[in-house]
Amino acid sequence: MNIASAFQGVAAAAWLAFIAVVGMTLVRGSRGQPAKGFNTLMVVLLVAAILLTSLGAGLVFLQADQYGIVISAFQPKGYREQALEPGLHWIIPFFENVRVYSIARQTYTMSGTTGEGQVQGDDSIEARTKDGQQVYIDASLIYAIDPAHLINLHITWQNRFEDNVVRPVTRAAIRDAVAQFGVEEIVSTKRADMEKKIRDTIELSLSANNLVMSDFLLRNIRFSEQYAQAVEQKQIAEQQALQAKLVVEQKRQEAEQARQVAQGTADAAVISSKGAADARLIQADAEARANLLLSQSLTPQLLQYQYIVRLSPNVQTIFIPSGNQFILPLPNVTGQ
């Protein structure tokens, strides 16, 4: 409770006490009893009540978020040209009064959900896109009174600024911005651009009417039932096409994998054949070199030795009579 309210409470109590004393005085007078002391008390209470009422009517206390416009019978324009700031102030009792305005941030919501906004029922903004599609937008505007221009706001709008400025300005800005974009743009790539256009338009319009925009919230975008069904069917078709594309890609990869396996098998066979051929050439070359070396190493004595060795493997001793030839002639190694 502030001091102004306290004075008003005490003044009310003094008036009640005065009324009670008056009543008692009348009762005593009707009974023929003396009322001299009551008359004095009645006068004191009357003076106190008047003084306290005057003080209570002259004191004005404004909270931290409140500013006041003094409506005065002593001012040429009918009001003081300086608004009252938060705190305790004195005005002329009974000839001046204060119109209090809150400078705290306020939220104005327009929504299709019942109970969310200031207007009951569906209060969403109906708009048409550049390509003729109908959309429904839920939005909230956070704003405040500009205390530096409170006098002008009071003169122009008084307490009507919410219905006559905030609501129509916001709805018009949204409709104008939506009309500049296609339906697919406002839900995807161009949504941020559309929000910026709305913000800029609202901020400029509110500033011209002594209000300050704090924030704009584009809460939801809804479509007509027909368009929503068309979008759903398009998404289903796109998903089916994507699935078919994935199946084709899978088959292509399987075919490529089979081709790679076949190519690997063929390459392995070629490498194996080439290796076998190279090995055979190496073997033939080695055999040719061995034969060449063997032919170069043959002598008559070696041939006779080999002849005797192969003549009879089981014969270990041969007796030859003195002065006689071999039983078998030795092979001719001279070629004559």
- Please work out, in degrees rounded to the nearest 5, the angle formed at the alpha carbon of residue 99 by the alpha carbons of 74 and 62: 110
* Residue 28 confidence (pLDDT): 67
Tell me which CATH code domain 106-223 carries.
3.30.479.30
> Which tens digit of pLDDT belongs to each residue from 236-290?
566 677 777 877 888 888 888 888 888 888 777 778 778 777 778 888 787 777 7
Q: Per DSSP, what are the bridge partners of residue 60?
A: 89
**CA nearest 22: which of 30, 55, 11?**
30
> Which tens digit of pLDDT belongs to each residue from 184-225?
888 888 899 999 999 999 999 999 999 999 999 999 988 877
Task: Provide the pLDDT confidence category of residue 144 given band limits of 50, 70 and 90.
Answer: very high
Give CA–CA dist 85/67, Å, rounded: 5
**CA nearest 59: which of 96, 15, 17?**
96
> Tokens standing for 232?
């759903």
* Residue 150 confidence (pLDDT): 95
* Residue 36 confidence (pLDDT): 64
**CA nearest 102: which of 76, 124, 77, 83?**
83
Question: φ and ψ at 137, to 5 degrees?
Answer: -120, 130
